[in-house]
Structure 1
């Protein structure tokens, strides 16, 4: 039996004690509406007070089972005691001294850990990778664009429809998820071509048509791809797709950037999702689960690629010492059992969701790896039904289960990697009950 933590006991069952949203939650929501940007995409009215393990408590004392992990971020669970201890100890010594201009141990030590584990070829001597630290996934994407253009001397980029890489301008230019994320913000970064994701037909079209008509391959710096699309619907590629994409890149001297912002850091049952396909990228972008909730991201690149000179790229807060301290403990906890737990709990989740799909024709069979799993919702005619998806997510909240949508009509399951078998079953039971109440 896998022991997740000897220091953290988690509540197993949600507890709703007030009508939702409760009075304190309503007050804070009204205050927020007066001062916050309307661009935020809040769904159900959750106002968080604290978290522990895989549970969240709101300001009115209601307890929820969290299958969102802050959008796949709190890999080690909420407020894991070892992470909290590392943050507290580091904050008492040094909170900030920019790694752009100075040195400090947590940044060096985490870079060494990531460099050793990067999914690149193992050299006979020296580091497997070089590391650049950022604040977020979007910033990691921006840096990867710059590095690819700098190293290759080329300008064009290829990305995928349904892909999500961030909301800053370069990252948004690569993103092909939802029109609202781009509407009104043009012109975007030039030289980006989007193609359908995950199919050999798409790669056929790239080679036979696009490369011969409008996208000269010798001008393409990089292809950026998610091993499993996140925001786009937790979509897995066809067998052989990623291997063939690697071959195309090699044939034309194009760099392969693998976006592991959501799929990385153990979520799929391996440290990096790309390892499921044994494909070696040139550059990897990371964030989300890397530091258990502290703002941290990273760019990993083969050492021969990261040759940009001093001053060519930097980040004031990237590699913050407190975030790096959290990142070190996070990686240790992942390797001491949480990656294995993600694999086993993911199998249980897939099995349970498959049983639900077999009983209800409004639910698709599940897809995913580890604890990166999704289902689609359908209407009576078999069409994707975003309204039903939204109803199910909202009603689950009222029963104490936190879920997130993605894609056109999908629900994603991305809980903390510390989640237990009992909590998986609680979530499945709530979903099963809701599916009997579909309006």
Structure 2
């Protein structure tokens, strides 16, 4: 492996020129953290336009699940592109049907499933909440504080990981009530089991302010993503399932970030053996091509009438070809690699934590891991500035990272990352922590 990382102060001259061009013509709304201007990538390694090499442990926000430019995905895309670039979802083609068959086979519903294909996670969520309303005839929903489900007006009504995402856009879709997401590290309720406490809180709402007979669905991330890579207590998802069944409420799992092998299982919910009624997918599903899917129990989806929902690009042949190749690769070994290499990664991070008191908690499953940084006090105060500094220093050292929650560095490398790349990244992370703590 090429161990040379950064050849010059960043950003380099070519990157600086492109940043200046971008500033004149591209929306400033994109939340860019540092000036990385990509040239090309292979697997977990990426290069900027000035020839600097990085390890990519952000993977396009968990999108590049099979690594950059995986030959099997590239071949599938090229093959599809040589036939035709698009036919609207008013018609049929092999890649779309094949993807539907794959999703039906791997869906964790425990019964036959059908899919609605779209281009993104937010569209998948919009489709899910529309289906829930259509099927139940109800208009209310339960969401969770810290959740992220997208930025279109329906999904935005659920999104609450940062107020920035909602500021200036009120009113969003009405009818969404937020409840706390159970976080054992930062408990909001008395008692040892925060999952039970949250379930009791929802029951209290049902008694006092939210008629359960009017609730169409509960939308939840099996592992919370943008809210801090929070893993819920054992029993929580099963408790939600039982609560939904009790009141005829649909359970929607948002697996946009946690699905497609990311956690060492095909879907994060499988760690707890809980089946949803509806599931949303995107991000890693297409290895970088824009595709999303709303997967639902067939007995629910089959009730949709012709024209009840649709879109122009859903089932695009090139995106479907990428998704088909991605699922084949994930099933063919990458999900197992996420589990085994993820365990190696977590062990190395635990070793690191023994040397750094600022690491408050390590959590996650597979290759969806969060490292929460805290101040040196007894209150576990989030170390927001330190978190930002670590991410920035890591970039300058040749490691691409992103943060989430209040002060959590998240790690989401491609699912085919190697132990050697993990070990190399750990060296860069240690250096970045030292520099950030020293104020470098």
Q: Same fold (TM over 0.5)?
A: yes
Q: Which runs of 5+ in 2 are unaligned?
A: 183-194
TM-fit CA distance, 1:364 = 2.2
Q: Which runs of 5+ in 1 are unaligned?
A: 1-10, 123-127
Q: 2:216 is paired with a residue of what secondary structure?
A: strand
Aligned partners of 1:362 and 1:380 also within 8 Å: yes
Q: 1:319 is paired with a residue of what secondary structure?
A: coil
Q: 2:381 is paired with a residue of what secondary structure?
A: coil
Q: 1:436 is paired with a residue of what secondary structure?
A: helix
TM-fit CA distance, 1:12 = 5.7
Q: 1:177 is paired with a residue of what secondary structure?
A: coil
TM-fit CA distance, 1:380 = 2.5
2:122 matched to which residue of 1?
138
2:153 matched to which residue of 1?
169
1:150 matched to which residue of 2?
134
1:216 matched to which residue of 2?
211
Q: Give deviations 1:359-405, integer Å, cap 9, x for gaps.
A: 11011231000000001112222421110000000001111000000
Structure 1 residue corresponding to 2:248, chosen from 233, 249, 253: 253
TM-fit CA distance, 1:18 = 1.8
Structure 2 residue corresponding to 1:105, chosen from 72, 91, 94: 94
1:188 matched to which residue of 2?
172
Q: Give deviations 1:399-431, integer Å, cap 9, x for gaps.
A: 100000000000000000010000000111111
Alpha-carbon RMSD:
0.9
**TM-score, normalisation: structure 1:** 0.95
Structure 1 residue corresponding to 2:105, chosen from 116, 136, 140: 116
Q: Within 5 A, what are the aligned runs for 1:249-328?
A: 249-306=244-301, 307-328=303-324
Aligned partners of 1:118 and 1:129 also within 8 Å: yes
Aligned partners of 1:13 and 1:423 also within 8 Å: no
1:348 equivalent in alignment to 2:344: yes
Q: How many residues align?
A: 422
Supply the distance in 2 between the matched residues of 1:322 and 1:224 (Cα, whole angstroms).
Answer: 30
TM-fit CA distance, 1:15 = 1.6
Aligned partners of 1:131 and 1:300 also within 8 Å: yes
1:92 equivalent in alignment to 2:82: yes
Supply the distance in 2 between the matched residues of 1:13 and 1:172 (Cα, whole angstroms).
Answer: 42
Aligned partners of 2:118 and 2:124 also within 8 Å: yes
Q: 1:298 is paired with a residue of what secondary structure?
A: strand
Supply the distance in 2 between the matched residues of 1:121 and 1:35 (Cα, whole angstroms).
Answer: 48
Supply the distance in 2 between the matched residues of 1:18 and 1:389 (Cα, whole angstroms).
Answer: 24
1:335 matched to which residue of 2?
331
Structure 2 residue corresponding to 1:41, chosen from 31, 38, 58: 31
TM-fit CA distance, 1:436 = 2.9
Aligned partners of 2:371 and 2:409 also within 8 Å: yes
1:17 equivalent in alignment to 2:10: no
